């Protein structure tokens, strides 16, 4: 976008750069180009003169709808009260694998057996895409994924039911690792539950996007869940130099794709019994367990 002082219009003048970034994404979703300019204290959002009216209208509509009270959607979930079971299983599995890895339990080198290696995955070791979700570099790495995974897993469980949510998180996490491995060079290694954590975020965002079928709802309101997910990804998904940002991104994308399939509106959602939710949850655990069995068998 080319700027000139006589044609650019200031849409926003804020002290908070993140607010400018939020409004920048809002305009981008509406097809309006803008840039962020600032000196560290005052931040401005600029657009071309020809688009100033449309930009102001989009921002005014977004801010108005954001400030309005949003009614809570009532989604029937017969297993809603049992969502804590999935979180406990998540905490237990990841903590146990971390303990076994640090102590070389059963005489195994867990990281070498289970981490994603791009060359090995491309050669057919697909189980590593799932075993890597349970491995972590150190206690700090584990703690962060336990916290964020429990939060997003709980939210996903409220949307889809506990068993279905955790099974889809595992599947989307594995798909994210596979996509990352196919893009990376042969010597690339990765591990950690963060791919699945961002998959859960993507699932929830896409499900919320599908809960806006009203044609009278503005475009910004319909896309606000996706915009929020992107902002949250930018906040917590980029991390430091050791962060595998591409794995986070492929996890987010896999979750969005899967969430698009399972995130039906409430009136079209299939009601599942508590027993069915338990079965889906057991399948999620079995996927991880069987992948570790295969990893150990092929060591």
Whether the predicted pLDDT of 27 surpasses 90: no
Q: What pLDDT is attached to residue 77?
A: 46
Greater pLDDT, 192 or 231:
192
Within this chain, do residues 289 and 157 fall inside the same structural domain, yes or no? yes
Within this chain, do residues 145 and 25 fall inside the same structural domain, yes or no? no
User: How far apart, in whole angstroms, are the C-alpha atoms of residue 154 and residue 149?
Assistant: 8
User: How far apart, in whole angstroms, are the C-alpha atoms of residue 117 and residue 179?
Assistant: 12
Q: How would you class 219 by CB atoms within 10 Å of its CB: exposed for 0-12, middle for 13-18, buried for 19 or more?
A: middle
The pLDDT-based confidence of 288 (bands split at 50, 70, 90) is very high
Q: Shortest CA distance to 284 belongs to which of 139, 90, 144?
A: 90
Average pLDDT, the chain: 80
Q: Which domain holds residue 52?
A: 8-67
Within this chain, do residues 89 and 187 fall inside the same structural domain, yes or no? yes
Within this chain, do residues 179 and 127 fall inside the same structural domain, yes or no? yes
Domain count, the chain: 2
In this structure, what CATH number is given to the domain that contains residue 114?
Answer: 1.20.1540.10
Within this chain, do residues 63 and 87 fall inside the same structural domain, yes or no? no
- Asked whether the CA dihedral 165, 153, 18, 59 is positive or negative, the reply is positive
User: How far apart, in whole angstroms, are the C-alpha atoms of residue 142 and residue 136?
Assistant: 6
Q: Which of 39-48, 132-141, 272-281 has the highest mean pLDDT?
A: 132-141
Q: How would you class 220 by CB atoms within 10 Å of its CB: exposed for 0-12, middle for 13-18, buried for 19 or more?
A: buried
User: How far apart, in whole angstroms, are the C-alpha atoms of residue 130 and residue 295?
Assistant: 10
pLDDT digits (tens, 9 = 90+) for 96-135: 999 999 999 999 999 999 999 999 999 999 999 999 999 9
Q: What pLDDT is attached to residue 55?
A: 83
In this structure, what CATH number is given to the domain that contains residue 61?
Answer: 3.30.70.1530
pTM check: above 0.85 = no
Q: What pLDDT is attached to residue 72?
A: 41
Q: How would you class 261 by CB atoms within 10 Å of its CB: exposed for 0-12, middle for 13-18, buried for 19 or more?
A: exposed
Whether the predicted pLDDT of 178 surpasses 50: yes
User: How far apart, in whole angstroms, are the C-alpha atoms of residue 195 and residue 177?
Assistant: 7
Q: What pLDDT is attached to residue 53?
A: 83
Q: Shortest CA distance to 97 belongs to which of 81, 86, 83, 108?
A: 108
User: Which of helix, strand or coil describes residue 148?
Assistant: helix
* Ranges 13-17, 133-137, 185-189: which has the least confidence: 13-17
Where do runs of H (alpha helix) occur along 30-82? 52-67
* Ranges 75-79, 81-85, 135-139, 198-202: which has the least confidence: 75-79
Greater pLDDT, 126 or 222:
126
Within this chain, do residues 167 and 226 fall inside the same structural domain, yes or no? yes
Residue 161, sorted as left (phi over 0), alpha (psi -120 to 50) or beta, turns out to be left
The answer to whether residue 213 sits within a structural domain is yes
Taking residue 104's Cβ as centre, other Cβ atoms within 10 Å add up to: 10
Contacts of 224 (CB under 8 A, 6+ apart): 62, 65, 66
User: How far apart, in whole angstroms, are the C-alpha atoms of residue 195 and residue 290?
Assistant: 19
User: Which of helix, strand or coil describes residue 43?
Assistant: strand
Q: What pLDDT is attached to residue 9?
A: 72
Q: Shortest CA distance to 258 belongs to which of 152, 174, 192, 132?
A: 174
The pLDDT-based confidence of 240 (bands split at 50, 70, 90) is low
The answer to whether residue 61 sits within a structural domain is yes
Q: What pLDDT is attached to residue 214?
A: 52
Within this chain, do residues 41 and 154 fall inside the same structural domain, yes or no? no
């Amino acid at each position: 976008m080319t700027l000139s002082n006589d044609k650019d219009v200031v849409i926003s003048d804020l002290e908070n750069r993140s607010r400018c970034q939020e409004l920048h994404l809002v305009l981008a979703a509406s097809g309006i180009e803008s840039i962020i300019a600032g000196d560290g204290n005052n931040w401005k959002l600029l657009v071309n003169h020809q688009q100033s009216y449309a930009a102001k209208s989009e921002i005014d509509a977004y801010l108005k709808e954001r400030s309005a009270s949003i009614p809570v959607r009532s989604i029937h979930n017969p297993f809603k009260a049992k969502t804590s079971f999935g979180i406990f299983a998540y905490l237990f599995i990841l903590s146990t694998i971390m303990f076994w890895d640090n102590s070389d339990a059963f005489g195994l080198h867990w990281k070498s057996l289970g981490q994603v290696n791009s060359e090995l995955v491309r050669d057919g070791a697909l189980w590593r895409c799932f075993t890597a979700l349970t491995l972590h570099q150190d206690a700090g790495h584990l703690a962060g994924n336990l916290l964020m995974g429990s939060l997003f897993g709980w939210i996903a469980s409220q949307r889809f039911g506990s068993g279905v949510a955790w099974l889809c998180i595992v599947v989307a996490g594995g798909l994210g690792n596979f996509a990352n491995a196919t893009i990376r060079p042969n010597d690339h290694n990765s591990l950690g539950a963060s791919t699945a954590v961002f998959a859960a975020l993507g699932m929830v965002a896409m499900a919320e996007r599908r809960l806006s079928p009203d044609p009278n709802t503005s475009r910004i309101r319909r896309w606000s869940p996706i915009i929020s997910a992107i902002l949250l990804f930018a906040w917590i998904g980029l991390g430091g130099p050791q962060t595998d940002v591409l794995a986070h991104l492929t996890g987010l994308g896999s979750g969005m794709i899967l969430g698009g399939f399972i995130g039906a509106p409430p009136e079209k959602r299939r009601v599942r019994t508590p027993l069915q939710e338990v079965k889906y949850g057991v399948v999620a655990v079995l996927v991880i367990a069987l992948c570790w069995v295969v990893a150990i068998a092929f060591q």
